[in-house]
Amino acid sequence: MESSQSKYYLTAKKFWKTVVDIEKTADSYQLQQQIEFHKRLLNIFQAGSFYYIVFNMYTGDLEIVSEGSENLLGYKPEELSLPLFMERIHPDDKPYFLNFEYKVVEFFKSLPYEKVKNYKVQYDIRIKRKDGQYIRILHQAIQIDYDERNFYRTLSLHTDISHIKQEGKPCFSLIGLDDEPSFFNIQLDQAFTKSYDIFTRREREILKCIVEGKMSKSIADELCISLHTVNSHRKNILAKAGVKTPVDLITKAIKEGWV
């Protein structure tokens, strides 16, 4: 790895080390239980191929890489490391990556302990596969191992959205879960500003189900509401999003960070 690339990686590590000052040995069983618990997030990735990783904030490297990495990036799980991943980021997107990670650290350090579990990080970047082809991935992350003072590990999901977003600048959002406010398309030179949510709580629940690929009957059963109510909400969601088809809705939802 070239010197400039090493400095790039070390700069990111400096950000991460500000949220953890001790190394914590992982309990393999508890870590796997956390991954299983958070697999609800994996369900939203039917929009493209994906893999997941567990990132150690203290060491600045990957502890777990799922099998999907080879299909998506061409690298087997044992081949993929964080320095390698960062080395493969498109040169134009590297400054975005550093700025996004700085913003993530800044945001989570400011959160009360009890609210950490209610936020998901989301941004997109281009990365070069092993075969030299660039793809655009959607990076989403949640905290799975932390206490009142330290953030030890995050669970991150990388999805190929090249077919959804072919061009444009990387976008960064912080998605609030369980009624917490969201911050969509955060500008790097601005403070965090709550984004206006065009959807009601029920509409957001249904939108998430649509992105997961669920049919109206399945959504009605899951949310314990009538099929007529689901279809009415679907029409309202399409109208508010300014699109005509579910495919267009899914595309826009991912681009805008609505899920």
Average pLDDT of 1-11?
A: 70
Model pLDDT, residue 40: 56
Average pLDDT of 90-115?
A: 94
pLDDT in tens, 59-86: 999 999 999 999 999 999 999 999 999 9
Of 175, 222, 223, residue with least CA distance to 41: 175
Name the percent of the chain lying above pLDDT 70. 90
Residue 17, classified by CB atoms within 10 Å of its CB into exposed (0-12), middle (13-18) or buried (19+), is: middle
Is 225 in a helix, a strand, or coil?
coil
Q: What is the pTM assigned to this prediction?
A: 0.79
Assigned CATH topology for domain 3-176: Beta-Lactamase (3.30.450)
Model pLDDT, residue 191: 60
User: Average pLDDT, whole number, for the chain?
Assistant: 87
Of 147, 206, 155, residue with least CA distance to 24: 147
Model pLDDT, residue 252: 83
pLDDT exceeds 90 at position 148:
yes
Model pLDDT, residue 186: 83
Model pLDDT, residue 211: 81
Average pLDDT of 246-254?
A: 84
Model pLDDT, residue 200: 87
H or E segment and range at residue 235: helix 227-241
pLDDT exceeds 70 at position 225:
yes
Model pLDDT, residue 152: 95
Domain boundaries, the chain: 3-176, 201-256
User: Of the CATH numbers 3.90.79.10, 1.10.3720.10, 1.10.10.10, 3.50.50.60, which one belongs to the domain with range 201-256?
Assistant: 1.10.10.10
Is 252 in a helix, a strand, or coil?
helix
d(CA 11, CA 157): 22
**Could you tell me the pLDDT band of residue 2, with boundaries at 50, 70 and 90?**
very low
pLDDT exceeds 80 at position 41:
no
Average pLDDT of 172-196?
A: 77
d(CA 35, CA 33): 5
